[in-house]
Structure 1
Amino acid sequence: MTALPVADGHGVRRYAADLARRHPRMLGGALLLHGLAALAGLAAPRLLGDLVQAVETGTTVAAVDRIVLLLAGFLVLQTVLTRFARYLSQVFGERVLAELREDFVGHVLRLPLGTVESAGSGDLLTRTGRDTDQLAWSVRWALPEWTIALITAVVTFVAALSVGWWVLLPCLLGMPPLVAGLRWYLARAKDGYLAESASYSRINATLTETVEGARTVESLGLGRARVEATDDDIAASYRAERYTLHLRTVFFPSMELSYLVPTVGTLLLGGYLYTQGQVSLGDVTTATLYVQMLIDPVDRIVSILDELQLGAAALARLLGVAQVPDDRTATGVAARGEDLAADGVRFSYVEGREVLHGVDLHVAPGERVAMVGPSGAGKSTLGRLLAGIHPPGAGSVRVGGAPLVELPLEELRGHVALVTQEHHVFVGTLRENLALAVAGQGEADATDEQVRRALGAVDALDWVDLLPAGLDTVVGSGGLALTAPQAQQVALARLVLADPHTLVLDEATSLIDPRAARHLERSLAAVLEGRTVIAIAHRLFSAHDADRVAVVEDGRISELGPHDELVAAGGSYAALWASWNGLEPDPPAGRPRDPGVDQH
């Protein structure tokens, strides 16, 4: 299994800077309001210091009342400014999060299918779910709070220095443990949190594989092995989380020392200077209150830094999806026809282990070719290459003389489309599920007449007309659950609407019973008249009706020709056809019967 890439620190910072450039006014407004709120909060220590000094030298009740009213006024002002600053920060965070999600979905949809299959579903599910949630928490709460704390700390420190230069000395005493602790923590935190997120991906991948293959697990008695694999993943996740917990338990307590030293130092140094007559009691009071005020924002800066590390790790994983290299390069070359040709095609999923070994196949426009052969012979792989899903490792696959990997996806899907036995029903109405076929080509929405015609072509109108709201019935998760054959008919109806010239059908009717599938294929034949069809199937009536049959064995096309000629030749196809019809002819001389040929 190949892990998807993770963006480095430079990539994360570049993306954050780009987001800031997109919203300069909103970001600037939020920072300004936070700064004004912090300034309003600085009035209290100064007024209290003045009050202490006034009491020492003598004052009046009116003067005290005036200071109390000013304190209340600045408190109200700070509350109002903080409210609007937080509101603007929240709006900014939601916009940033929305843009990030749109970018992420766009990158995911552009991932090469081969990359998705090799990475597995666990990693993508973790990035789509947990990493997105973690980043949302960081953007909505951690980042605004950290920004507030940072601005408050800077403004408060400057205000403390305005009392006198001597305040700098106790503040500097708290810097060494703070800097040392931060350097130690930051050097380890990113890798620790990335490993923690990766462990969740492995757990999700193992659980997903176990659930999806539950019947296989049960039939082969693999339950204990799958439980042990899950236990191993959980143990690895436990070790990763224990490591990050260790970082926090060392880091946060060490920070407490850096908070207390400046406050105690200010009191001691200020008291000494006061006894020497160099500062007033009001200055000592003001300075001490300012330094004490630094504890809360600095503590929040350090505490929230942990959340930001989690958010940065999540962002790096989300941005890493965009770093997956494309498996094709659209050159703008246009196809000059609809003939499909594979020349010397070789392909391997794992380096050094070829699945296809120099396959040649030329399909004329409007021709129907059936591909048959043993399971694992490479039929589906060849079909995916002919549909442009994978680029060949060597050789070429062309349509109208243009390499499939050089056609833009929109143009490619207008020439060749693939329908497999795997299908998906999206959440939405049945009409919306079908209209996706033309929406992806940038065309206007399909009309009800076109949708019904497509459903009729795949024999689906009988059950569609019985739905409670017809085409407006909500299907998919949370809606009406379609049966597997119904979902497959929806996938085929999408194909009819998409109207490509060449179709690659990889066991596209496998979930429908043989009699209904036979009727369905005859109905589709009328709709697909004049189009090129490459049908990969184990049900040999598809081969019987085809113009030519390609027998794929061991990654090569061993036989190619019309049905009658191949039966008469007495080779692999003849044995397969005889078996399909319940006959047991002797194999040709010198050629043992292949036990791996599918018979159903």
Structure 2
Amino acid sequence: MSTARKLPVASAAQVRAYARRLTLRHPRALAGALALHALAAVCGLVAPRLLGELVDGVSRERAAIDRIGLAIAAFVVAQGVLTWLAHYASARLGERVLADLREEFVDRVLALPLSTVERAGTGDLVSRTSRDVDALATSVRYAVPETLIGAMAVVFTAGALVLTGPLLALPCLVAVPLLWGVMRWYLPRAREGYLRENAAWAEMTDGLAETVHGARTVEAFGLAAARRRRGDADIARTWRAERYTLRLRTVLYPVIEISFVLPVAATLLVGGLLHAHGLASLGQVTAATLYVVQINGPIEMLLSWLDELQVGGASLARLLGVGNVPPDRVAGGARPDGERLTARGVHYAYRPGHDVLHGVDLALRPGERLAMVGPSGAGKSTLGRLVAGVDGPRAGTVTVGEGAAVPLVELPLEELRGHVALVTQEHHVFRGTLRDNLVMARPGATDEEAAAALAAVDWDGPGLDARVGSGGETLSPAQAQQLALARLVLADPHTLVLDEATSLLDPRAARRLERSLAAVLDGRTVVAIAHRLHTAHDADRVAVVEDGRITELGTHDALLEANGSYAALWASWHGDHQPDRTGR
């Protein structure tokens, strides 16, 4: 099983309430579609009634065949036209509802805390944005309109059947206990079954994505067998979940089919007896039988799409569940009175009871360059994320300001990014022009400002109008990293946290880029997390992080004089020989 923390799922009550709100958001379109469906259903009821009158007329030798035939043809044509218009109106309404739902889902996804996205894993979010959205689209486009049509047709046809002869309507009730029993058995199981099926698909997608993205690691460490076992387990879990929902359908559909045959046979039998005893005319029996046959179609449509509605309901619950993620910050309303970042008594844990930071204290001086070094897994990146406001501490505070300091988690994201921004070694190039990728950091930036930001990072790639990303010009990993740094220059925050931000460049290019950035970012606070210790040599201060604690803090020269952990790291980085004080 994956250790990723799954995103929540909305309750059945939330799904029903949201579906009502979404449907009633377009009242005029809904009323128009309902009116057209009602008119089409009424037109469809006329032909059986006229056929019944025709049978009675023939039996009495007084049939107006031509007039009744023309009337039947006219109503059939009218029903066809109204049905087409009703489907068109329902389709338009469905697309508007689906567009609203997609836009709101995108807003929910973009509002997710970054820490939640990372812990949920790729598979859960990808399966919701692809498989669940597709399933819900099928429900909105087809299942909901068809269910609406079926429900209205059943109501009108049942009314017409009662008006034809109340006694002739009674045989239809023979299928009610059967349908009621199977639906009572099916509905409680369907929602949970489809939720488990979607969750199993998310697990499988997550495992496949991890294997594909980490293919080189899998190959290098001989993990192919382990990943294959994980894949087999995920596929087996998905198969079991789908087998369960298939079993539900194999019980539901045969019962439905039997329920369609019984009312027709019962109506013919009872109708024949009533006619034999003079309680119903032959025309009434004919009309009633035709209505029973006619009502079977809408009922079949209703029950057949009911399964699809269960799928759509489960998908909607997963999509709405994204909005149930609690925010990781609550705006307090206070404004910081300065740009000093301070961490006091900071603890942080990815899993309850397993802290990776233990009471860290760190006060950044505005305008200084702080290098954060230490062994892998010591907590450097975690501390960097807290300093950047991406995560909030489990205990302690990370604040910005002088006298009236404000916790970073109480700043809205828009304001937070004006104070501090984080750049890691993981970058994404969006599909579009290079300009589009760059100015997303500051949408109002001019071409001159964009070009200056690229020049600040020694950009050697294509021009601003070049198409990049999927289907466009491919940027190398180093160019993608330069682009991310150029975005940072354009965003112009006061404090920057660079987590291995030049790791994909070769050492000489990295040194040249860091010198260029140093000139551009002069006067800003920079926290540089790096394994290349020349970054530490150039910094104003160096913080050594070990086992989730800052064990040493001072200048490069002072830490070498102390002959502690930093001096050992420096000697190891230079090949176990004593370096000179210039760092060469």
* Partner SS for 1:343: strand
Deviation at 1:168, TM superposition (A): 2.9
Q: Deviations over 1:77-112 (max 9, x none)?
A: 111111111111111111111111111111111111
CA distance in 1 between counterparts of 2:22 and 2:233 reads 40
Matches within 5 A, 1:18-417: 18-59=21-62, 63-400=64-401, 401-417=405-421
Q: Is the 8 A contact 2:23 2:97 kept in 1?
A: no
TM-score w.r.t. structure 2 length?
A: 0.97
Partner residue, 1:452: 451
Deviation at 1:575, TM superposition (A): 1.4
Deviation at 1:257, TM superposition (A): 2.2
Partner residue, 1:598: none
Q: Is the 8 A contact 1:575 1:585 kept in 2?
A: no
Q: Is the 8 A contact 1:332 1:408 kept in 2?
A: no
CA distance in 2 between counterparts of 1:244 and 1:156 reads 32
* Partner SS for 2:49: helix
Deviation at 1:536, TM superposition (A): 0.3
Q: Deviations over 1:46-103 (max 9, x none)?
A: 111111111111135xx21111111111111111111111111111111111111111
Q: Deviations over 1:312-359 (max 9, x none)?
A: 111000000000111111111111100000000000001111100000
CA distance in 1 between counterparts of 2:23 and 2:138 reads 19
Of 558, 575, 593, 2:551 maps to 558
* Partner SS for 1:422: coil
CA distance in 1 between counterparts of 2:212 and 2:274 reads 73
CA distance in 2 between counterparts of 1:502 and 1:157 reads 71
- Root-mean-square deviation (CA), in Å? 1.1
CA distance in 2 between counterparts of 1:480 and 1:585 reads 46
The one-letter code of the counterpart of 1:485 is: A
The one-letter code of the counterpart of 1:50 is: E
CA distance in 2 between counterparts of 1:73 and 1:438 reads 64
Partner residue, 1:510: 503
Deviation at 1:584, TM superposition (A): 3.8
CA distance in 1 between counterparts of 2:336 and 2:169 reads 74
Q: Deviations over 1:349-395 (max 9, x none)?
A: 01111100000000011111000000000000000000000000000
Partner residue, 2:17: 14
Partner residue, 2:442: 438
Deviation at 1:463, TM superposition (A): 2.4
The one-letter code of the counterpart of 1:18 is: R
CA distance in 2 between counterparts of 1:207 and 1:20 reads 37
Matches within 5 A, 1:520-531: 520-531=513-524
* Partner SS for 1:175: helix
CA distance in 2 between counterparts of 1:26 and 1:472 reads 43
CA distance in 2 between counterparts of 1:398 and 1:214 reads 40
Deviation at 1:478, TM superposition (A): 1.3
* Partner SS for 1:232: helix
* Partner SS for 1:538: coil
Number of aligned residue pairs: give it: 573
The one-letter code of the counterpart of 2:421 is: A
Deviation at 1:23, TM superposition (A): 0.7
Partner residue, 1:593: none
CA distance in 1 between counterparts of 2:68 and 2:319 reads 52
The one-letter code of the counterpart of 1:152 is: A
Residues 1:425 and 2:422 are matched in the alignment:
no
CA distance in 2 between counterparts of 1:67 and 1:296 reads 24
CA distance in 2 between counterparts of 1:280 and 1:496 reads 89
CA distance in 1 between counterparts of 2:327 and 2:166 reads 59
- Name stretches of at least 5 consecutive residues in structure 1 with no aligned partner: 440-444, 465-469, 587-600
* Partner SS for 1:265: helix
CA distance in 1 between counterparts of 2:65 and 2:333 reads 80
Q: Is the 8 A contact 1:378 1:553 kept in 2?
A: yes
Deviation at 1:585, TM superposition (A): 5.7
* Partner SS for 1:335: coil
The one-letter code of the counterpart of 2:547 is: D
CA distance in 1 between counterparts of 2:576 and 2:262 reads 93
CA distance in 1 between counterparts of 2:268 and 2:421 reads 78
* Partner SS for 2:442: helix
Partner residue, 1:596: none
Q: Deviations over 1:563-587 (max 9, x none)?
A: 111111111111111222223469x
CA distance in 2 between counterparts of 1:194 and 1:583 reads 58
Q: Deviations over 1:466-523 (max 9, x none)?
A: xxxx312111111111110011111111111111000000000000111001000110
Q: Is the 8 A contact 2:456 2:517 kept in 1?
A: yes
Deviation at 1:205, TM superposition (A): 0.7
CA distance in 1 between counterparts of 2:484 and 2:73 reads 68
The one-letter code of the counterpart of 1:396 is: T
Partner residue, 1:595: none
CA distance in 1 between counterparts of 2:200 and 2:235 reads 8
* Partner SS for 1:471: coil
CA distance in 1 between counterparts of 2:241 and 2:272 reads 49
* Partner SS for 2:464: helix
CA distance in 2 between counterparts of 1:73 and 1:386 reads 76
Deviation at 1:286, TM superposition (A): 0.6
